Amino acid sequence: MKAYIYTNSYRVTILGILLLFIGSGCSLTRGLKGNESLVRKVTIKGMDPEFAELALNYVDKQQQPNNVINLQLYYLFNKKGKRSIGESPAILDSNLVEFSRVQIEKFIQSKGYLKAKVADTIIIKKKKAQLIFTTTQGPMFRIRKFDDSIPDQKVRALYRANRNKFSHLQPGGRFDTDSVAYERDAFFTLMKRNGYYDFYRQYINFTYDSTYNSSVVDLRMIIDNPPDKPAHPIYTINNTLITISASNGRNTGTADTIQVDSQFRFVDYSHKFKPHTVTDYVYQLKGDLFNTDMQTVTTSRLSELNVFRNVPNPTYTKTSDSTNRLNTKIDIIPLKQMSDRVEGEFLFSGGRYGYNIGNTFTDRNMFKQAVTLQVKLNFSILYDNGRNSVNSTGIENQDFKIGASLIYPRLLLPFTVTRPGKHGVPHTTFSTNYSLFYQKGLVERTSFINSLTYDFMETANKIHSVTPINIEFSKGSIDPTAYQELLSQNRYSYIYLIGRTIFTTGSQYTYQANGNLLNTFGNFTYFRGSLDVGGNFLSGVSNVLNTPKDTLGQRTLFGYTFAQYSKAEIDFRVYRSLGGENQFVFRINPGIGVPYGNSSQLIFEKNFYAGGANDMRAWLPRTLGPGQFNRATAYGPPGTPNAPSAGDILRTRLKYIDQFGEIKFITNAEYRTKLANDFFGSILRGALFVDAGNVWRLNKQTDSPNGEFRFNNVLQSTAIGIGGGLRFDVSFFVFRLDAAFKFKDPQFNGADQWVLINHADELFHSGTFKNNYLQANGESYNFMQLNFGIGMPF
């Protein structure tokens, strides 16, 4: 959900909130009593830089410096203890300082500096305390010799065959107790993956002999056998019982009971599922070695079906004989089958107002196979009361969409594929969508789209989406008066763009990497690339059948022209951690669409547009570009409010239609940081950002002067916006507020493009620049754009 608001009152309010946070660093000690002091700085000295930052985590939380915003929120909202917002002041406590010193000393000793000592110093000035922990590290102890003692031959062979794949303990390396713990956990996991159901961490022990003066350690790993047993038993999977409760969690009444095969017995008290819905995603099959990884995969895949409320890990019971087999039990509680979600938003922005309302109905379990039926309806309307409106109610845009999707949690293919789903549940989606776009006084466009899509995961980080068939039919009907106006000004390309009836078939492919990392704070890159190709099959059929051509020389099928095109888009991002929950994100988002063969122009819906809350945030959607296109001059000289010119009328009619391109290039740089841990129940985060980019026409067009892409004009025709924002994270969604400012506007020329520098004095009131723009365009120029939305921008 997004809304766009840029009235002066809202600007002042939002800027006031931002200034409150920026200027909140004063009087940090105003809440202290008597001789209390506020801890404002903690320093680690004398420690290896590799560990100094980590050592700060061992300072007691009550002695760590406050975040300034968190502390000010506490002072502001926690009077008389009525609220719990922000964080209480970190008041100096000598006992906690000593505790912190001991913890830091233990930490550095665990890193191989066995002789290390840490001393603390407290400096107090004006009720603000600085804590200094000074480390005397001494020599780093290294491993001189490493060996093992493992009486079980199979376990010994397994360990020695895999040790080099995970071990951090090598002769000559640092003696690090964290590495010792890692070795224990890594080998425990290896055992659990290879049938050792009864194996415990307690069987793994380490002994070491340190030659203290020489700073070396002899280390031995010991893996004991179970008490009274000569070796560790290896277990295989036997039978599996799957029980599905009623939606209330009870196993009462009669149940659908089926012995599926020699392994699976299926008991369903809900009477709503077929056995293969669950058995297809049980990855521990009869005769397989017990493997905790497959146990986890089974639980994850059953949860991803989105039809079960509770999917606990399978439980295992040993068979009563001596065959070392495990019977598996999986107990599941289903979700409510039907759900309905209503969404809405309101848009108000300087003469533009409207609303958007949507409803999504979901049936999670069609045909008793966890097949999802999803029906979506959406209706939006926008009114734009500009000076040059062609009717009393201004521009009126209406957009109605209805679509249905049938989503199968498996790949429906005419041939057999390797057992899918190890890294995620694959899907086959049949969808059909109808949309109606209506702009009063200009055009009515209807569109039907039907498609078949396969989604599957190559690994946990790599997702493929293939749409082998996508059939689209669209039809445009231009208002007769608007048609004559377009015709009188030789705007044939717009008539062709929005008024033609056309259909096409195509295929699409999308590849995504690291999408599962987007909500983390580590270092990674994200990539999403898509390719959309249409019309080639129809072109081949048309050429073979030698179908007739229309008046423009384009081939037709069934009496209609068809579109031929290729469209590609990339979204590449670099995420870099700056420590804690501070993060820098850089994004590049290029795209290009090329009509060819039977088409001289892309379908209206296939073009790129710029602006909005997710790319160029200082511009409203569909109000930037293409290139240096200037709406004030493109349609001729303006008239007057009482006598608008023909150019004014056409400029108004084509608003939100004429600023598009076949080429897009958007870049964004954003710094994100946490401002407050508790702001009225949410985590408050902040962001500073720069957006740059535009859309361009592929070739020079008389209807879009200066809108074409040229390498020698890319910088001149690139828009730049700057701004900042707040994100309110309430765990299940993020509410976002961004304030963005136009910094460089390519619709102007030369030095006049740097609008924020040249006209900063008109940021919040009108002057010569804004008045001239109003006269030429029939609407005011707004430097600042406020974007309200749900979720991160990217």
Q: What is the 3-state secondary structure (H, E, C) of 462-527?
A: EEEEEEEEEEEEEEEEECHHHHHHHHHCCCHHHHHHHHCCEEEEEEEEEEEECHHHCCCCCCEEEE
How far, CA to CA in Å, does 65 sit from each of 15, 34, 104, 420, 775? 27, 20, 17, 50, 55
Amino acid (1-letter code) at residue 117: K
The owner of tokens 């608001």 is 5
The owner of tokens 């030789």 is 490
- Top pLDDT among 511 and 313 is at 511
Other beta carbons less than 10 A from residue 238's beta carbon: 19
pLDDT of residue 196 exceeding 90, the answer is yes
Query: Looking at residue 82, what is its pLDDT?
Result: 53
Secondary element (H or E) of residue 256:
strand 256-259
pLDDT of residue 453 exceeding 60, the answer is yes
Phi, then psi, of 398 in degrees rounded to 5:
-125, 140
pLDDT band at 22 (very low <50, low <70, confident <90, very high): very low
CA-only gyration radius of the chain, Å: 33
The owner of tokens 């957009």 is 399
The answer to whether 542 touches 562, Cβ cutoff 8 Å, is: yes
Query: Looking at residue 25, what is its pLDDT?
Result: 45
pLDDT of residue 575 exceeding 70, the answer is yes
Share of the chain above pLDDT 90, in %: 66
Query: Looking at residue 70, what is its pLDDT?
Result: 78
Pure H helices in 215-279: 275-279
pLDDT of residue 16 exceeding 60, the answer is no
Phi, then psi, of 505 in degrees rounded to 5:
-120, 145
Pairing label, strands 236-244, 325-334: parallel
426 contacts: CB under 8 Å, gap ≥ 6: 409, 410, 411, 420, 454, 455, 456, 457
DSSP 24-48: TTS-TTTT--TT--EEEEEEEESS-
Which one of 28-32, 511-515, 646-650 scores highest in mean pLDDT? Answer: 511-515
Query: Looking at residue 1, what is its pLDDT?
Result: 39
Look at the chain and count its residues.
794
How far, CA to CA in Å, does 21 sit from each of 344, 435, 664, 737? 30, 44, 36, 15
The answer to whether 793 touches 10, Cβ cutoff 8 Å, is: no
The answer to whether 197 touches 188, Cβ cutoff 8 Å, is: no
How far, CA to CA in Å, does 141 sit from each of 109, 138, 183? 10, 9, 18
Residue among 160, 159, 162, 207 nearest 180 (CA): 207
Tokens, residue 750: 């030369």
pLDDT band at 390 (very low <50, low <70, confident <90, very high): very low
pLDDT digits (tens, 9 = 90+) for 662-712: 999 999 999 998 888 878 778 889 999 999 999 999 999 988 999 999 999
User: Taking the model in full, what pTM does it have?
Assistant: 0.85
The mean per-residue pLDDT over the stretch 79-85 comes to 61
Burial class of residue 253 (count of CB atoms within 10 Å of its CB; 0-12, 13-18, 19+): exposed
Query: Looking at residue 638, what is its pLDDT?
Result: 80
pLDDT band at 350 (very low <50, low <70, confident <90, very high): low
pLDDT band at 32 (very low <50, low <70, confident <90, very high): confident
pLDDT digits (tens, 9 = 90+) for 306-331: 999 879 899 999 999 999 999 999 99
Pairing label, strands 734-744, 784-790: antiparallel
pLDDT band at 391 (very low <50, low <70, confident <90, very high): very low
The answer to whether 584 touches 578, Cβ cutoff 8 Å, is: yes
- Average pLDDT of every residue of the chain: 89
What gap in Å lies between CA 714 and CA 718, rounded to an integer? 6
Tokens, residue 229: 């047993």
What gap in Å lies between CA 397 and CA 445, rounded to an integer? 11
Q: Which residues pair with 147 in a beta bridge?
A: 220
The mean per-residue pLDDT over the stretch 107-126 comes to 94
659 contacts: CB under 8 Å, gap ≥ 6: 609, 610, 622, 623, 624, 625, 626, 629, 631, 695
The owner of tokens 């790993």 is 221
The mean per-residue pLDDT over the stretch 395-409 comes to 91
The mean per-residue pLDDT over the stretch 321-344 comes to 92
Tokens, residue 373: 């039926």
pLDDT of residue 213 exceeding 80, the answer is no
Amino acid (1-letter code) at residue 522: G
The answer to whether 562 touches 503, Cβ cutoff 8 Å, is: yes
pLDDT digits (tens, 9 = 90+) for 174-185: 998 889 999 999
How far, CA to CA in Å, does 11 sit from each of 7, 18, 525, 535, 688? 6, 11, 35, 48, 17
The mean per-residue pLDDT over the stretch 410-435 comes to 89
What gap in Å lies between CA 603 and CA 564, rounded to an integer? 9
Residue among 654, 648, 662 nearest 491 (CA): 654
The owner of tokens 């001393």 is 119
Query: Looking at residue 153, what is its pLDDT?
Result: 96
Share of the chain above pLDDT 70, in %: 93
- Top pLDDT among 79 and 205 is at 205
Other beta carbons less than 10 A from residue 142's beta carbon: 17
Query: Looking at residue 605, what is its pLDDT?
Result: 86
Secondary element (H or E) of residue 98:
helix 94-110
